Structure 1
């Protein structure tokens, strides 16, 4: 009788570290961050910025400063990664899985392992990978999704396949609310004191256009109070 050997999935991780969440609803909250390798919009290497921007139609390759390349990364099984996160984070039960694009890696098995380890799972995604594709569990016959989803889209709304999100973050000036009105309706509303809490953020691009983008964000929020201006508190506090 042949014995079928099932290999465990391994997840390519750039880094795991303890820090404070810097943006959004959970700004200031202690967190364990996990940065996955790779993105479907940019290779992560400077010499491919123009090529990838032309290939994908996204502007983010031209200014993204995140290092999600494979150099220095490590492969973990789901249980190994959960153990490493617990080792780095101690008693911290809030984790943020980011990238690159985390839904290229995060799946039902990893979600289940992190939940079993006691983590509340937040992710930061560009909205181009559907949850049903990434996190459907054949074993359980249902979706095992992250607990909290922050979407920062980098393609036009008609190309976004993410079914829902909890927070929407648009990086100005390239990604403007007027171009994401339909997509914004996919937000899950969370109740606070019996009132819906819209978590729609305007994030000024941190580069040569910062002053222009900041003023644009302020002006738009003042005229459209369902939107908020996002402040990168981790940079103010000088934490990674």
Structure 2
């Protein structure tokens, strides 16, 4: 409250602008999925709800969350070296980094812990097509609801790579599904696959269901499992991490 002479008061609303904690922004090629090989601006958000990102918490977080990914995740999404941006500042940073590139991928960690209607709108105003990769544990209604206009403002393309059982996934829909083998098997996500938005490609309905071999000491086993399953179940495809083959970040 601020005083206006003779004890009169007026309520002063906070003008603090929301910021988004970002680990890094860089120009590269999308390495996986339908858009593999496409020039992109990547934005890595800080933080995940399944693993802290620190080596000494892998086993603890795997037990705490029930997810296997803390034991093998190799992504650095910790707060060290990160920076806060407003929605406008982040859009400007991305445009400055990417030039004429209009395709962006927001990842993490878990990007839906950060993404909201305000950020989606700012990136759309900057002419970006927004793709994200999420673990499916945060709903779009929760993260991207625009209270002022009473509607959802969501990313344009959603890749879900679940790390928990399907009954714990709250994501309402996805465009591509990526299961990391050997820990996450298609048989355990039969109901969740029904949440896929169907996409018309060459006048056909194309299921974008991917089997991603875990890139670690189980790579050979995971690759063979993926190949075998895809050959027996042709709606599924084997995902190849082309960015690693091309040696780009």
Structure 1 residue aligned with 2:195: 186
Deviations 1:127-182 (A, max 9, x none): 00000000000111100000000000000000000000000000000000000010
Matched, 1:13 2:25: no
Instruction: Report runs of 4+ in structure 1 exceeding 4 Å deviation.
Output: none
Matched, 1:226 2:232: no
Shift of 1:6: 2.7
Give distance in 2, aligned partners of 1:194 and 1:48. 48
Map residues 154-169 of structure 1 onto 2, 5 A cutoff.
154-169=163-178
Decide which of 126, 129, 136 is 2:135's aligned counterpart.
126
Deviations 1:194-233 (A, max 9, x none): 2101000000000000000000000000000000000000
Equivalent pairs, count: 240
Q: Provide the alpha-carbon RMSD of the alignment.
A: 0.6
Structure 2 residue aligned with 1:147: 156
Map residues 49-68 of structure 1 onto 2, 5 A cutoff.
49-68=58-77
Matched, 1:239 2:238: no
Give distance in 1, aligned partners of 2:103 and 2:50. 27
Give distance in 2, aligned partners of 1:5 and 1:100. 30
Structure 2 residue aligned with 1:115: 124
- Please give the TM-score of this superposition, normalised by the length of structure 2: 0.96
Structure 2 residue aligned with 1:95: 104
Map residues 205-224 of structure 1 onto 2, 5 A cutoff.
205-224=214-233
Matched, 1:27 2:36: yes
Matched, 1:39 2:24: no
Give distance in 2, aligned partners of 1:217 and 1:236. 18
Give distance in 1, aligned partners of 2:14 and 2:76. 35
Q: Which runs of 5+ in 2 are unaligned?
A: 1-9
Structure 1 residue aligned with 2:89: 80
Structure showing greater Rg: 2
Secondary structure of the equivalent of 1:114?
helix
Shift of 1:8: 1.2
- Please give the TM-score of this superposition, normalised by the length of structure 1: 0.99
Shift of 1:7: 1.6
Q: Which runs of 5+ in 1 are unaligned?
A: none
Give distance in 2, aligned partners of 1:81 and 1:147. 18
Give distance in 2, aligned partners of 1:197 and 1:139. 36
Shift of 1:4: 1.6
